[in-house]
Amino acid sequence: MNGGRVAVFNEGYWGLPVKKGAGYRCSFYARSEGGFAGPIHVSLEGKDGKVYASTEVKRVSAVWKKFRCALVSKAEDDNARLVLSVSSPGRVFLDMVSLFPEKTYKRRANGLRPDLVKMLADMRPSFCRFPGGCFVEGDRIANAFRWKQTIGDPAARKTHWNLWGYYSTNGLGFHEYLQLCEDLRMEPVFVINCGMAHEDVVPMEKIDEWVQDALDAIEYANGSTSTTWGALRAANGHPKPFNLKFIEIGNENSGPAYEERYARFYDAIKARYPQIKIIANVPVKSRPVEILDEHYYSTPEWFMANSTRYDKYDRKGPKIYVGEYAVTQRCGKGNLLAAVAEAAFMIGMERNADVVQMASYAPLFVNVNDRRWNPDAICFDATRVYGTPSYHVQKLFSRNRGDVVLGTQVIHEVSGQLQPIKGGVGVGTWATQAEFANIKVVQGSKTLLEHDFSGGMGPFEAVSGAWEVKGGVLRQTSGALNCRVLAANRDWSDYSFSLRARKLGGREGFLIIFGASDPRNLYWWNIGGWGNTMHAVEKETDGLRSIIGDSVPGRIEENRWYDIRVSIRGRRIQCYLDGKLVHDFEDAPPPKVVAVATKIQKTGEILIKAVNFSAEDRDAVIEIRGVRRLKPYGTAIVLTSKNPEDENSFEEPNKVAPVTRRLSGVSTNFQYRMPPWSVNFLKVAEAK
């Protein structure tokens, strides 16, 4: 450096906003060489070079040292810069440069944005599952979340590349999540990596380190200050234990590798901390499952149809935690249609609260400048924030809870006769190599198709994948996803489709296609899907696919021939594997109205929650039995909009938001008109 100013600057992520009169804390590490005499100038500036605030630090030496300074902005600018500059000869080295507003949540150093925390607090959440889903395991073990690297001095925390394609600084770490849970009176639900990533696993001979991480995490959260990790928690500013009660072993892990790792973690945790409630990703045979975590991302129709999912659930089975769910198809960036369907699903969960003990929408937050997933509940940029319609649904349910679920019956008008399932057949694989043989389609006494592949592909046409006919079998050799062949016929109905199949290698099992009118509109029986963990029928409409009916645990072995048959009669679907009936259900259209009633014991109020998933007004006659008389007035809270595809935005943050009005004409038998595409909360009270 030979005179003048040399500077480095940072513009933040999609904006570094400063406000007039607001204070900011800056810190950085620095050392010097080559006779540098200082000082280092620190300033907040506009892109045009206008200085909003400035100060300087002195006594920079050859030894690394942390410097702190305070800045107060003289202007407002949403796109300011933090500038560090020098004008003296020599060399200066910088590390861990940080700038935070003084006004953070609870004015904590390195704290959270108050407006974002308020959005979360307004939901009145009971618990928080952290640090996330796929963020926990990472694409590979080298990128897995390790909680010990996220506590203490932020400058000493190790960054890591995460599955969503960026480096995480881990400034929001294990301790901060626990602190946020305490602040908002949420139960912390910690998800620990169990030695599994998307692409690899920790060998069992090295798994003890990961098991110890789980035990140490519990000690950090709950241990006394006389313990190693409890003492470190106290040193980090929190002597009182956080009282962690729940820990989840892994995220979306499954298969034999998960079975043996779950057992190791379960035994170790229960031996030392028997009071901890353990959440499993899938049903595990070798150890007890106290709570089972289920994740659902699908179409609006799937969520409507599955509002009855838990009505017939085995009450002797494990309790359910719906840890992640959201409408992710036909949802835009978070529209009314998605919110209405999710509300119907939540009504079903509330109706079965004896089974479904916990539920959490996901994901929660997104910076709109870097969307990696749609939708998210809370959208923000550098200065603004708004909630999607789904956010408002979550808020409505959380703020309007009953104590007792009342028996609720919804009586619908009978609609016209449904058309039968029609279409051709096919086979396929997903990241799997397999062979298929002896394909036959029979309609009553009539054979529609019979092919043994002795003369080539015959009526089958390849849609995707690497297919060949050899030795009287149809073989798929690619490891790609969604490899299919079809023999499409739009008019076939009421038939039985049988074949034999053998898995040669890969991750999953077989796709048995039926009711196919074209490659984007069909059904398939996914045998050994989802990492070879379960069987389920899926329906694809205009390229959008979702599960219909119940899924069943199951897997497919390699180098074994299976006898497979799918029977369709009208809209009834029956699926057989080696002669055993696996699925038997009707593909009925989703309901248009879903409802539940609960009672608040303390006040005697009755809450009626109802969804109208249609484009027409729905006139409902509401009959409440078991009470003599109701007060003539109540309250109606309605979430709706003109168009089911309406969304909120920074410009219109409340375009789709609940509206509260007085409800008149209330009695033990009264009428209520539900607007199209609406979520309706009615609150009535017994007259004394």
Q: Are 52 and 17 in contact (CB under 8 A)?
A: no
Q: How far apart are CA 505 and CA 490, in angstroms?
A: 33
The 3-state secondary structure of 273-290 reads: CCCCEEEECCCCCCCCCC
How does DSSP classify residue 686? B
Q: Which residues pair with 609 in a beta bridge?
A: 596, 681
Q: At what angle do helices 228-235 and 208-222 cross, to 10 degrees?
A: 50
Lookup: tokens for 270:
């229960």
Q: How far apart are CA 513 and CA 484, in angstroms?
A: 9
Pick from 473, 471, 492: which is nearest to 427 by CA? 473
Pick from 319, 257, 309: which is nearest to 288 by CA? 319
User: Which region, left, alpha or beta, applies to residue 90 given φ > 0 means left and ψ of -120 to 50 means alpha?
Assistant: left
Q: Are 100 and 110 in contact (CB under 8 A)?
A: yes
Q: Which residues pair with 366 in a beta bridge?
A: 379
First to last CA, the chain: 85
Q: Are 684 and 634 in contact (CB under 8 A)?
A: yes
Output Rg (C-alpha) for the chain, integer angstroms: 29
Q: Are 235 and 225 in contact (CB under 8 A)?
A: no
In the block, tokens 């000869």 appear at 89
Q: Is the peptide bond before 39 cis (omega within 30 degrees of 0)?
A: yes
Q: At what angle do helices 174-183 and 208-222 cross, to 10 degrees?
A: 40
Query: Residue 291 in 3-state DSSP?
Result: strand
Catalytic pick from 252, 301, 350, 508?
Answer: 252
Q: How far apart are CA 150 and CA 507, in angstroms?
A: 33
Residue type present at position 644 = P
In the block, tokens 């002195």 appear at 58
Contacts (Cβ under 8 Å, ≥6 apart) of 438: 452, 498, 499, 500
Query: Residue 84 in 3-state DSSP?
Result: strand
DSSP 485-519: EEE--TT-BS-EEEEEEEEEEESS-EEEEEEEEET
Taking CA 134 as the corner, what is the angle to CA 129 and CA 135, rounded to the nearest 5 degrees? 75
Q: How far apart are CA 112 and CA 53, in angstroms?
A: 23
Lookup: tokens for 53:
């605030």
Q: How far apart are CA 579 and CA 526, in angstroms?
A: 17
Length of the chain: 688
Q: How many helices (H) and strands (E) does the chain have?
A: 10, 42
In the block, tokens 């600084």 appear at 169
Q: Are 290 and 278 in contact (CB under 8 A)?
A: yes
Q: Is 205 a catalytic residue?
A: no
Lookup: tokens for 474:
């149809």
| Residues with active-site annotation | 252
